[in-house]
C-alpha cells in the first residue's frame, strides 16, 4: 500500500513512515481573509515539513547551532507603549540604529530560516512556525510581492514571534494589529518620521519618496502610521490614498534600498556539501526525493538542478 502511495506522490517510501511534528503557526499573513481553509492548512503543513527537514539535516549531520541573536518574549499588555515599545526594546537589544538594512539577516542570526513559499500558493504573504529542534523557527515567504512589503511581512512575523507567547490573545484581529504596530515601529521608529510626515502634503510627494527609500517601508505604510498617530485627519488620509492610487504607487513594485535576501538555508546546504555530503546523502538523511529538496530550497540548493520532468498527455476523445 505504501509503495503505491509513494509512487503516486513521487516520494520515497521512507518519507511516508516519518512522523513530522506539527506546530501551530506563530503568524500567518493573508492578503485576504477569503483564503480557503484547505490552503491555510496546506501552507502550515509545508512550513512544518521544511522545519523538520532543516532540523533533521542539522541533527543527522551533527551541525551545532550557533545563533548570535536571541528572540526575547515581551508582554505588550504590561508596556505603556504596547507593541511599539516592544519594538524599541528589541532594536536596543539587537543594537539597531537607523534603518533596518537586512531584516532577513537579523532573523537568521536568531535562528529563523526564511524559505520561499511554493509558487502555487496564492493569497498568503507568509507563514511562521516555531520548531522543537535546533532551528528557532521557519518562515515561508511569498517572493512575488514588492520588496517593501516583504520587509514589513518579515517584521510582522517577528512581532508574532516575540509577542504572542507572552501577551494575552483576545482575537486574531488584535494579534494582527499588534504585530503590524510592532513591524512599523521596528522598521522605522515614528519619532524619526514625525517631523516630515505630519506636515507633508501630496504636492510634496518626493519627500515621502525620500523617506520610503531611507527606511525601506512602503508609501502607504508611512501615511497610515501618520494617521494612526493622529497627525493626519481622516479626510487627509483618504485624499493621500487617492493620490497614491491615481499615480499607481499603491501596488507598484518599487525598487527597495534594502532588498530581502535570505542566506541561511543556502549557507547550511553549501557547508554540508563542502563537508562531503552529496545530494543523494541529503536525500537519504531526510527521506526525501532529490526533486522534492530542489523544489523546497530553490536557488539555495547547491547541486546541479534536475531536468524538468515531462509528461505525455493523451487527449480525450
Q: Tell me: the pLDDT tens digits for 177-200? A: 999 999 999 999 999 999 988 888
Task: Give me the mean pLDDT over the 124-143 stretch.
Answer: 93
pLDDT for 166: 79
Q: What angle do CA 131, 132, 135 make, to 5 degrees?
A: 55
With 70 as the cut, is the pLDDT of residue 308 above it?
Answer: no
Nearest to 126 by CA among 134, 135, 117: 117
DSSP, res 134 = S
Nearest to 143 by CA among 262, 49, 250, 44: 262
- Residue 292 near residue 309 (C-beta atoms within 8 A): no
- Alpha-carbon gap, residue 154 to 107, rounded angstroms: 8
With 80 as the cut, is the pLDDT of residue 120 above it?
Answer: yes
Span of 28-37, 130-139, 168-177, 210-219 with lowest mean pLDDT = 28-37
The residue among 21 and 140 whose pLDDT is bigger is 140
- Residue 156 near residue 31 (C-beta atoms within 8 A): no
pLDDT for 21: 63
pLDDT for 41: 84
pLDDT for 13: 52
Helix (H, G, I), strand (E, B) or coil at 80: coil
Task: Give me the mean pLDDT over the 275-295 stretch.
Answer: 92
Please report, rounded to a whole number, the percentage of residues in the chain having pLDDT higher than 90. Answer: 64
Angle between helices 190-197 and 219-228 (to 10 degrees): 90
Q: In what order do the strands lie in the sheet with 124-130?
A: 25-30, 124-130, 137-141, 112-116
With 50 as the cut, is the pLDDT of residue 5 above it?
Answer: no
Task: Give me the mean pLDDT over the 206-233 stretch.
Answer: 94
User: 0.95 cut: is pTM over it?
Assistant: no
Amino acid at each position: 500500500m505504501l509503495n503505491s502511495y509513494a509512487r503516486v506522490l513521487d516520494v520515497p517510501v521512507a518519507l511516508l513512515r516519518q512522523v513530522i511534528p506539527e506546530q501551530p503557526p506563530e503568524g500567518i499573513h493573508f492578503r485576504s481573509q477569503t483564503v480557503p481553509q484547505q490552503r491555510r492548512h496546506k501552507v502550515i503543513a509545508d512550513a512544518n515539513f521544511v522545519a523538520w527537514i532543516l532540523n533533521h539535516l542539522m541533527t543527522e549531520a551533527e551541525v551545532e547551532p550557533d545563533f548570535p541573536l536571541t528572540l526575547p518574549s515581551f508582554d505588550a499588555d504590561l508596556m505603556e507603549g504596547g507593541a511599539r515599545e516592544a519594538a524599541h526594546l528589541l532594536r536596543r537589544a539587537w543594537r539597531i540604529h537607523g534603518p533596518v538594512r537586512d531584516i532577513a539577516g537579523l532573523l537568521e542570526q536568531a535562528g529563523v530560516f526564511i524559505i520561499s513559499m511554493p509558487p502555487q500558493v496564492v493569497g498568503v504573504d507568509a507563514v511562521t512556525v516555531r520548531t522543537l529542534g535546533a532551528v528557532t523557527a521557519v518562515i515561508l515567504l511569498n517572493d512575488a510581492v514588492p520588496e517593501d512589503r516583504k520587509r514589513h511581512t518579515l517584521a510582522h512575523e517577528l512581532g508574532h514571534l516575540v509577542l504572542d507567547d507572552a501577551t494575552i490573545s483576545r482575537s486574531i484581529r488584535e494579534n494582527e494589529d499588534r504585530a503590524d504596530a510592532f513591524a512599523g515601529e521596528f522598521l522605522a521608529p515614528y519619532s524619526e518620521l514625525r517631523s516630515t510626515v505630519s506636515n507633508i502634503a501630496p504636492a510634496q510627494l518626493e519627500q515621502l519618496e525620500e523617506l520610503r527609500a531611507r527606511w525601506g517601508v512602503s508609501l502607504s505604510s508611512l501615511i497610515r502610521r501618520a494617521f494612526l498617530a493622529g497627525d493626519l485627519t481622516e479626510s487627509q488620509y483618504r485624499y493621500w490614498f487617492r493620490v497614491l492610487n491615481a499615480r499607481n504607487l499603491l501596488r507598484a513594485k518599487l525598487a527597495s534600498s534594502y532588498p530581502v535576501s535570505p542566506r541561511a538555508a543556502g549557507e547550511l546546504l553549501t557547508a554540508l556539501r563542502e563537508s562531503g555530503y552529496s545530494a543523494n546523502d541529503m536525500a537519504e538523511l531526510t527521506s526525501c526525493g532529490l526533486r522534492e529538496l530542489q523544489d523546497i530550497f530553490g536557488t539555495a540548493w547547491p547541486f546541479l538542478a534536475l531536468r524538468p520532468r515531462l509528461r505525455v498527455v493523451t487527449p480525450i476523445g
